Amino acid sequence: MTIDYHTLRNWPFKDIEQTYTARDAMFYSLAVGYGANPLDPDDLAFVYGKELRVPPTFAVVLGYPGFWARDPRSGIDWVRVLHGEQGIEIHKPLPREATVIGRSRIARVVDKGEGKGALLEIQRSITDKASGERYATLTQLTFCRGDGGFSAGGGPSDEAPAVPPAVPGRAADHVCRAPTRPETALLYRLCGDDNALHADPQVARAAGFARPILHGLATWAVAAHAVLKTLCASDPARLARFHARFTAPVYPGETLRTEIWRDGQAVSFRTRVVERDMVVLDHGTAKLR
């Protein structure tokens, strides 16, 4: 089945209402490495205390519409779908507890050509149910490897998004190392992504991995923690945007090394696994307030 441009651009996502508590926010923080040093006062503020801070990346697990691409009406070869990039624009820091509304839409459908796949850009806003204030806008770029060529007969296709800039050629201004725990993926899956690939060794081997891999969004959150701690004094209000491209999987228990470059309020970064010297997040960009 071939995907249809108009069907996807007008996909009928339902608004997702979600109530979270301070306990939910703290569990997410622990799952992505905050509090690894319980004596660090900056990290402790995300997992303990009346003035609890919430990581900006917590928004990525709120108002999630689920794996909608499995719906046969989408025409997507969902088995061959990859999460290519993830970004967030932070409008206002998340409170310690709230009821939020997640509203998703497909903003871009790009035909890369027959045999080359297609790109979907999916945007999701996270707003407060009571006030209507927007906390964050999430942008996900999905690579549909089996769905290229849908516009070959003259049908529409959107312009591809700009390629994120490469990191600077000079040595990094800051380097932040963060170990992950062997059970990190088992913790993170309780935040909303229970794909067996991240828990079941047999499923992981069938997919071509030696063992279950860490969720890409968990790796992404670890990198955001590094930027937040290094450049923002762990103050969520000081991070305005954060974006990265996924380039390789991480195995729970590996050490993540985030290299950071700062040019004024603009930030570039990349993250690599120390044990395998492999870049797992690249073309990372952030903006500070």
Is 198 annotated in the active site? yes
DSSP annotation string for 195-261: -GGGT-HHHHHHTT-SSPPPPHHHHHHHHHHHHHHHHSTT-GGGEEEEEEEE-S---TTPEEEEEEE
- What's the rounded Cα separation, in Å, for the pair 218 and 188? 7
Among 3, 43, 76, 198, the active-site one is 198
Nearest C-alpha neighbor of 55 from the set 281, 238, 262 = 238
Phi-psi region of 154 (alpha: psi -120 to 50; beta: other; left: phi over 0): left
216 is catalytic: yes
CA 49 to each of CA 45, 46, 53, 215: distance values in angstroms, whole numbers, following the listed order: 6, 8, 9, 28
Contact 178, 222 (CB under 8 A): yes
Based on the residue annotation, tell me whether 208 is a catalytic residue of this protein: no
Distance between CA atoms of residues 92 and 133, nearest Å: 8
β-bridge mates for residue 92, sequence order: none
What is the SS3 assignment for 61? helix
Catalytic residue among 213, 215, 243, 283: 213
Q: Tokens 């930027």 sit at which residue?
A: 227
Q: Tell me whether residue 213 is one of the annotated catalytic residues.
A: yes
Between CA 279 and CA 270 the distance in angstroms is 7
At position 55, the amino acid (one-letter code) is P
246, 237, 240: which is closest to 286 by C-alpha? 240
Select which of 87, 193, 243, 283 is catalytic: 193
Catalytic residue among 63, 148, 216, 284: 216
In angstroms, how far is CA 23 from the centroid of its own chain? Answer: 21
Cite the active site residues: 193, 198, 213, 216
